[in-house]
């Protein structure tokens, strides 16, 4: 009897379902670990290469941990004035881009939430058209040139100081807030500007965090616009500087292989190439660190802002 009861208990649907879901959770966890490893490993590999001995890095001996620990590449980068000038330029572009992006986004999104705004629906449709259809690179270049912004820091700030996607996202978030808040403020004699500053903005930290994350990452990683609109190395962003370093290294190595040189010169060039390889990895790490440090500051509001801004249309 006892054995039969145990067998019946083992054949219960609830227990088999529990075992099945436990196996599913284990599989999902394993897949998540593999995906995380695939995502994180490239950056970890770059860090390991930047901290390894140049000879070990050039020979392919570095797989996971640094081989022959060395910080010489970071010391050389720390003394590179041009690199830090480009780094400072990117910081300035990010700050200016964030300020202008927030101002333009909120200045357009808030009026679109007012039901008494004449032509509100048509303005929304008007914003959707350039969101999906753009003029392209050549019209943008002509506009920048005709405005006298070529070879100016403003050519790297103004074209990216607005985003229709951010405007729609912010409008949706503001529209999801309780309308009783603004109505009570208007009854007390508040203006639209006062309601925006004292009521809506304090409640809009999640969507502001989302806009800041998008803007910081977009401006910090941009280099294509700078390569088109500027030729002055004093105003180039750090990403364009890093790209020029990588391109010059590759073209230099191709030219060296095609030129007849003595053994001593070849050895000197090989050592210089190994040092340049280390500098490349060190620059990549330094350029990536600001983004890795900024995201945790806004993570508290980021997910909430994305979800709330996408629920109500």
Whether the CB-CB separation of 54 and 278 falls below 8 Å is answered with yes
| SS3 per residue for 220-288 | HHCCHHHHHHCCCHHHCCHHHHHHHHHHHHHHHHHHHHCCCCCHHHHHHHHHHHHHHHHHHHHHHHHHH
- More confident call, 85 vs 3: 85
| pLDDT tens digits, 130-165 | 777 777 788 888 888 988 889 889 988 988 888 888
Rounded Cα distance between 275 and 50, Å, is 10
pLDDT recorded at residue 251:
54
Whether the CB-CB separation of 166 and 204 falls below 8 Å is answered with no
pLDDT recorded at residue 190:
79
Cα-Cα-Cα-Cα dihedral sign, residues 190, 194, 198, 200: positive
pLDDT recorded at residue 198:
86
Contacts of residue 192, defined as CB under 8 A and 6 or more positions apart, other chains included, come to 110, 111, 114
Residue 6 has pLDDT above 70, yes or no: no
| pLDDT tens digits, 170-206 | 888 888 888 887 788 888 787 888 888 888 888 888 8
| pLDDT tens digits, 259-293 | 444 544 444 444 555 566 777 888 888 888 888 88
The structure's pTM equals 0.77
Smallest Cα–Cα separation from 220: which of 96, 128, 127? 96
- pLDDT average, residue stretch 228-253: 79
Smallest Cα–Cα separation from 236: which of 151, 304, 167, 300? 151
The rounded percent of the chain whose pLDDT value lies above 70 is 79
Rounded Cα distance between 214 and 301, Å, is 13
Long-range (24+ apart) CB contacts under 8 A made by 49-57 are 49/277, 49/278, 49/281, 50/74, 50/278, 50/281, 50/282, 50/284, 50/285, 52/278, 54/271, 54/274, 54/275, 54/277, 54/278, 55/274, 57/274, 57/277, 57/278, 57/281
Q: Name residue, tokens 């009026």.
A: 111
pLDDT recorded at residue 289:
86
pLDDT band of residue 92 (cuts 50, 70, 90) is very high
Q: What's the number of CA atoms in the CB half-sphere (13 Å) around residue 202?
A: 7
Rounded Cα distance between 15 and 8, Å, is 11
- CATH number assigned to the domain with residue range 80-242+278-311, chosen from the 4 options 3.30.450.20, 1.10.3720.10, 3.40.50.880, 3.30.2020.10: 1.10.3720.10
Top mean pLDDT of 60-64, 153-157, 309-313 is at: 153-157
pLDDT recorded at residue 310:
47
Compute the mean pLDDT over every residue in the chain, rounded to the nearest whole number.
78
- pLDDT average, residue stretch 117-127: 82
- Which one-letter DSSP state was computed for residue 168? H
Per-residue b or e along 280-312, where b marks 16 or more CB atoms closer than 10 Å to that residue's CB: bbbbbbbbeebeeebeeebeebbeebbebbeee
pLDDT recorded at residue 304:
59
């Amino acid at each position: 009897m006892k054995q039969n009861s145990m067998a019946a208990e083992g054949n219960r649907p609830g227990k088999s379902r529990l075992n099945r879901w436990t196996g599913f959770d284990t599989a999902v966890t394993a897949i998540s670990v593999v995906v995380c490893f695939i995502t994180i490993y490239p950056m970890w590999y770059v860090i390991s290469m930047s901290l390894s001995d140049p000879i070990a890095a050039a020979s392919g001996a570095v797989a996971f941990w640094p081989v022959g620990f060395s910080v010489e590449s970071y010391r050389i980068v720390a003394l590179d004035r041009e690199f830090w000038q480009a780094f400072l330029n990117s910081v300035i572009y990010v700050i200016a881009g964030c300020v202008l992006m927030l101002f333009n986004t909120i200045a357009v999104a808030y009026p679109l939430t007012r039901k008494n705004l004449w032509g509100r629906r048509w303005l929304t449709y008007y914003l959707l058209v350039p969101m999906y259809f753009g003029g392209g690179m050549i019209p943008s270049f002509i506009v920048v040139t005709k405005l006298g912004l070529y070879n100016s820091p403003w050519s790297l700030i103004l074209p990216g100081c607005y985003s229709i996607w951010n405007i729609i996202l912010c409008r949706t978030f503001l529209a999801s807030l309780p309308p009783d808040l603004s109505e009570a403020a208007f009854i007390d004699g508040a203006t639209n500007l006062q309601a925006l500053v004292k009521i809506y903005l304090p409640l809009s930290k999640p969507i502001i965090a989302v806009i800041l994350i998008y803007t910081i990452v977009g401006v910090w990683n941009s280099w294509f616009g700078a390569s088109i609109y500027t030729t002055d190395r004093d105003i180039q962003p750090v990403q364009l500087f890093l790209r020029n370093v990588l391109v010059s290294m590759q073209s230099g190595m191709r030219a060296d292989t095609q030129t007849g040189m003595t053994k001593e010169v070849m050895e000197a060039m090989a050592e210089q190439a190994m040092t340049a390889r280390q500098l490349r990895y060190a620059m990549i790490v330094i350029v990536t660190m600001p983004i890795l440090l900024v995201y945790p500051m806004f993570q508290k509001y980021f997910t909430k802002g994305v979800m709330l801004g996408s629920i109500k249309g």
